[in-house]
Amino acid sequence: MSAITLTAVDWIIIVLYFVGIIGIGLYLRRFTRTGEDFFLAGRRNSSWVAGLAFLSANLGALEILGWTGGTMKYGMSVAHFYWIGAIPAMLFLGLYMMPFYYSSKIHSVPGYLKLRFDERTRLLNAVSFAVMTLLMSGINLYLMALVFRTILGWNWNVSMWVSAAAIGCYITLGGLMSAIFTEIVQFFLIWFGLFLVSILGVSELGGLGAVFHGLPDTMGRLWANTGVASANEMKVTWAGIVMGLGFVLSFGYWTTDFLVVQRAFSSKDLRSARLTPITASFFKMALPFIVVVAGLVAFRLAGDPSKGFALLPHPSHPNEAWNDTALPMLMARYYPPGLVGLGITALLAGFMAGQAGNVSAFNTVWTYDIYRAVIKKDATDEHLVWVGRVTTIVGILLSVGTAYLAMQFNTIMDYIQAIFSWVNAPLFATMMLGMFWKRTTSAGAFWGLIAGMIVSFSIFVAFKTGAMPVALSRLLTFSDAPSEMSRNLWQASWGWIACFVVTIGVSLVTRAKSDSELVGLVKGLTGQSESADAPLLGRPAFWAAIAFAVVVALNLYFW
Amino acid sequence: MSDPSKSPEPLPIWFFVGVILLVYGLLLMASDFLYGVGSTVLASTRPCLWWGGVTALCGAVFLGVGLRVHAADKASRKEEQS
């Protein structure tokens, strides 16, 4: 017996979604002729379209389920991942980094590394990004099948293959434009399908004040309990949050991960590209009103036996409640037929859009940064589009393979999910130095990147295998008993520091490129911003200032 | 925005968002009439009916915006080509 039972109207809503996204793919097929159409959506998007896609590429169901469950464990601290852990980095990308990315007319982030440094740095990043993306896509698929089997009793193979086939179909047909369209549809489905859970939950508990009133001290505040690690549920100090999450992990992800940055590249001009992450930041700030509020409601309900609310048991540890089922169980509590279908469709769309984002980023990096760079340097545009389509199908099949691998070897997921801090955190140091310090050399970037990846990976493995000495653990994490979250934040930080230091050290003893080779790629050698004489409302800096003020106000309110 | 050398402009995403939300909103409202007040918590507030109405209304607005944007795109494209 499954936790949620679907009625005919629920099935109609789910089937209509599949018909809709494949229909969109078929419709967009005829607008997808050139490489720029397929890989960059024709560079025709406004900042609204690119901004929503930018956010939605990150807004998978995995994140929503995970952080709703995470709120039951960590409380309000989860909002850090949406505010300090995202907004400053998104604004920095729009204001300072996008001019270098967009103006150089590259197809991908590794493409920038080629222009700024050399082919080997590009290849190192392209290969690590391609592997990371495929593995993440497979994990996403596996968890989707796991969630739907647990809450709906769906068959593993059917849910994995049907969703993979639908994604393969619409990405192969319409390329990035298809991915962007379905990501935006997913964004609205998530709001219309899941926000009502928070509204009804708050209503049942008697208002937002009542939800917060019953929380323990360690869960209800953002910063007040971060003076010492043991005073909050995340077991991390404010320094870990600011340095690890707010700086390294956040900037590493939002400013260098091609999965999200690719959406900004699809903008019609530089001003729209710069506004893309800034527009997205406003929507990002609003997400805790779904995720955190629903998690707090679930926490309150689960703590009151008279409410009759319980989570499902964890599939791998049947004696433990599975926090990630908090949102589906709230849906089961509040949603009548019809709304259940919409809620499940929102989750399905979230999983599929997350996977589609990974596949579309993978096909671009493979085609431009590996295939054209190494295998066929004289490939025509038409040939590259063909390669992109084939790569999409191969990428989908590899994702399905990874999903089956994860199903067989459950612990592999811990490693795969940590890949991000091995790849992106050091890359942010490389990008920052590359864009803002013209003395950074190709050798410095390459060896810095290698050093950062090795340091981050070694810390992860040492903690995972129990080989980390207690004294060194205390030195690295500033905590006697670091939580997994705290370890993740610090391992990324040390990876970043290693890359930063080695890049500077090697750069100082190797030959830098001349100024003429760096025009348009480095601060100080790039022309004035396009919006210097634009009206106030058209300036990215104006909207970034407003976004920054709002996020500061939110932090102060929930301090 | 419209470069004549590029592929023709597709219907804007707002059109598709509008269609999907409108259809889903109407289906939600229909399911309220079909299944009546159920046994879920706060079912008496008829969430399918009012949330379906909100969804359909937003869908209609997006549909309208999508059609207007597309008409404007087509007009500006024609102007550029002439």
Task: Give the 3-state DSSP-derived string for B2-60, with helices as H, strands as E and coil as C.
Answer: CCCCCCCCCCCHHHHHHHHHHHHHHHHHHHHHHHCCCCCCCHHHCHHHHHHHHHHHHHH
Chain B residues whose CB is inside 8 A of the A188 CB are: 17, 20-21
Across the interface, of A17, A181, A196, the residue whose CB is closest to B47 is: A196
User: Which chain B residue has the Cα nearest residue A345?
Assistant: B24
Confidence of residue A558 (pLDDT cuts 50, 70, 90): confident
**How far, CA to CA in Å, does A55 sit from each of A214, A277, A287, B36?**
32, 8, 10, 37
Report how far residue A182's alpha carbon sits from residue A163's, in angstroms, rounded to the nearest whole number.
13
Question: pLDDT digits over B57-66, tens only?
Answer: 999 999 999 9
Question: pLDDT digits over A96-144, tens only?
Answer: 888 888 887 888 888 899 999 998 999 999 999 898 888 888 888 888 8
The verdict on residue A257 lying in a domain is yes
The whole-number average pLDDT for the span A347-371 is 88
pLDDT of residue B2: 42
The whole-number average pLDDT for the span A81-91 is 93
8 Å CB contact of A339 and B20: no
pLDDT at residue A486 greater than cutoff 80: no
pLDDT at residue A265 greater than cutoff 50: yes
pLDDT at residue A187 greater than cutoff 80: yes
The verdict on residue A269 lying in a domain is yes
The whole-number average pLDDT for the span A210-238 is 79
The whole-number average pLDDT for the span A13-35 is 88
CATH number, domain of A366, equals 1.20.1730.10
Helix (H, G, I), strand (E, B) or coil at A313: strand
Q: What is the CA radius of gyration of chain A?
A: 23
The whole-number average pLDDT for the span A65-80 is 87
The verdict on residue A35 lying in a domain is yes
pLDDT of residue A532: 65
How far does the CA of residue B52 sit from the closest CA of chain A (Å)? 9
How far does the CA of residue B71 sit from the closest CA of chain A (Å)? 16
8 Å CB contact of A12 and B27: yes
Alpha-helical segments (H) within A373-441:
381-408, 412-436
pLDDT at residue B1 greater than cutoff 50: no
How far does the CA of residue A247 sit from the closest CA of chain B (Å)? 34
Report how far residue A445's alpha carbon sits from residue A426's, in angstroms, rounded to the nearest whole number.
10
Task: Name the more confident of A413 and A380.
Answer: A380
Contact A43, A107 (CB under 8 A): no
pLDDT at residue A61 greater than cutoff 90: no
Confidence of residue B4 (pLDDT cuts 50, 70, 90): very low
Confidence of residue A2 (pLDDT cuts 50, 70, 90): low
The verdict on residue A2 lying in a domain is no
Report how far residue A106's alpha carbon sits from residue A368's, in angstroms, rounded to the nearest whole number.
10
pLDDT at residue A90 greater than cutoff 90: yes
Q: Which domain range does residue A390 map to?
A: 8-525+532-557
8 Å CB contact of B55 and A189: no
pLDDT at residue A545 greater than cutoff 70: yes
Helix (H) or strand (E) holding A120: helix A119-152
The verdict on residue A372 lying in a domain is yes
CB contacts < 8 Å between A and B, how many? Answer: 107
The whole-number average pLDDT for the span A151-165 is 86
8 Å CB contact of B40 and A44: no
Across the interface, of A13, A20, A28, the residue whose CB is closest to B10 is: A28
Interface test with B, best of A342, A344, A345, A381 (most B CBs within 10 A): A342
pLDDT at residue A482 greater than cutoff 80: no
Report how far residue A141's alpha carbon sits from residue A359's, in angstroms, rounded to the nearest whole number.
12
User: Which chain A residue has the Cα nearest residue B69?
Assistant: A46
Nearest to A120 by CA among A432, A444, A500: A444
Structure tokens at A495: 């990876």
Q: What is the mean pLDDT of chain A?
A: 86
Report how far residue A489's alpha carbon sits from residue A248's, in angstroms, rounded to the nearest whole number.
8
pLDDT of residue A116: 92
pLDDT of residue A267: 87
Across the interface, of B6, B23, B30, the residue whose CB is closest to A16 is: B23
Specify which residues A45 forms β-bridges with: A267
The whole-number average pLDDT for the span A462-482 is 81
The verdict on residue A86 lying in a domain is yes
Across the interface, of A24, A42, A336, the residue whose CB is closest to B43 is: A336
Specify which residues A313 forms β-bridges with: A321
pLDDT of residue A416: 61
Task: Give how many domains chain A has, as a whole number.
Answer: 1
pLDDT of residue A455: 94
The whole-number average pLDDT for the span A251-262 is 86
Question: pLDDT digits over A284-328, tens only?
Answer: 999 999 999 999 999 999 888 888 888 888 777 788 888 888 888
Contact A265, A43 (CB under 8 A): yes
Across the interface, of A33, A177, A196, the residue whose CB is closest to B51 is: A196
Report how far residue A483's alpha carbon sits from residue A486's, in angstroms, rounded to the nearest whole number.
5
How far does the CA of residue A56 sit from the closest CA of chain B (Å)? 14
Q: What is the mean pLDDT of chain B?
A: 86
Chain A residues whose CB is inside 8 A of the B47 CB are: 196, 200, 334-336, 339
8 Å CB contact of A336 and B31: yes
Across the interface, of A184, A200, A336, the residue whose CB is closest to B35 is: A336
Phi, psi (deg, nearest 5) at residue A300: -65, -45
Report how far residue A289's alpha carbon sits from residue B43's, in angstroms, rounded to the nearest whole number.
22
**Domain spans, chain B:** 13-81
Contact A497, A507 (CB under 8 A): no
Residues in A lying within 8 Å of B, measured between beta carbons? 7, 9, 12-13, 16-17, 20, 24, 27-28, 31-34, 36-37, 42, 44, 46, 49, 177, 180-181, 184-185, 188-189, 192, 196, 200, 203-204, 268, 333-339, 341-342
Write the CB contacts of A500 (distance below 8 Å, at least 6 apart in sequence): A429, A432, A433, A448, A452
Percent of the residues in chain A that have a pLDDT greater than 90, as a whole number? 33
How far does the CA of residue B61 sit from the closest CA of chain A (Å)? 13
8 Å CB contact of B16 and A20: yes
Confidence of residue A412 (pLDDT cuts 50, 70, 90): low
The verdict on residue A3 lying in a domain is no
Please, what is the end-to-end C-alpha distance for chain A in angstroms?
A: 43
The verdict on residue A1 lying in a domain is no
